[in-house]
Amino acid sequence: MGTLIVHPKNKEQLSVLKAFMKALKISFEESKSDLPTYSSEVVSENSQVKEVKEPYNKNFLNKINKSEDEFKSGKFTAIKTKDLWK
């Protein structure tokens, strides 16, 4: 058959969905979250600090941003497709 991925918005919806699937003898797997989240602190314009959950680690994002900046400034090596496996 097929696979359904549902995203209940709260615990009540989750428990109702579980009960429904159990009643119809539908097998299911439960995952605590779709992606790992990483906390970071953000200071807003009014100097309030709040915690923000992000799907990517801050160090990973820094590496990606650095790579994009290097590419924009011309610091990269281009490889022609025909030379890729040489």
Give residue limits of the domains in the chain.
35-75
- In terms of pLDDT, which residue wins out, 85 or 50? 85
pLDDT tens digit string along 6-62?
A: 888 888 999 999 999 899 988 887 776 655 666 666 666 676 766 666 777 788 889
Which contiguous run of DSSP H or E holds residue 42? strand 38-43
Report the SS3 class of residue 57. coil
Position 75 confidence tier, pLDDT thresholds 50, 70, 90: very high
Is residue 23 classed exposed, middle or buried when 0-12, 13-18 and 19+ CB atoms within 10 A define those classes?
exposed
Tokens of 35: 């992606």
Tokens of 79: 């490889």
Residues in the chain: 86
Is residue 54 classed exposed, middle or buried when 0-12, 13-18 and 19+ CB atoms within 10 A define those classes?
middle
Whether the model clears a pTM of 0.75, i.e. scores above it, the answer is no
The yes-or-no verdict on residue 85 having pLDDT over 90 is no
